[in-house]
Amino acid sequence: MEDDLALLEAGKYRDYCYKQCLKMCYYLQMVRSREVLQMKVEFHQDDNKNIWFTYASDIHFRHRFGRDGRQKMSLTEVDPTRLAKKMKED
């Protein structure tokens, strides 16, 4: 895929926005272990011809598995009562 500047100079704004979405999805996959399956995004172009990402909605994702084959879990996904029982057992 062409670099960002080449896409903008060629007037391929849709391709540029798509590439930015891919970068965001890659970041979420690497940092939060979430694979984005579908999302609606909004970009706007200002008077200086800069394109800005402004909004994402209806984001559908699935959890990715870690390198050891187990599913990574965030703190918000952990059941507090189950966690408290496990801590008492240890």
pLDDT tens track of the chain, all 90 residues? 679 999 999 999 999 999 999 999 999 999 988 999 999 999 999 999 899 999 999 999 998 876 555 555 554 454 555 555 555 554
Q: How far apart are CA 24 and CA 79, in angstroms?
A: 29
Q: What is residue 75's predicted lDDT score, i.e. its pLDDT?
A: 47
Domain spans, the chain: 4-64
Q: Are 28 and 34 in contact (CB under 8 A)?
A: yes
Q: What is residue 49's predicted lDDT score, i.e. its pLDDT?
A: 87
Structure tokens at 22: 């891919």
CA-CA distances (angstroms) from residue 45 to 22, 34, 42, 78, 87? 19, 29, 10, 41, 52
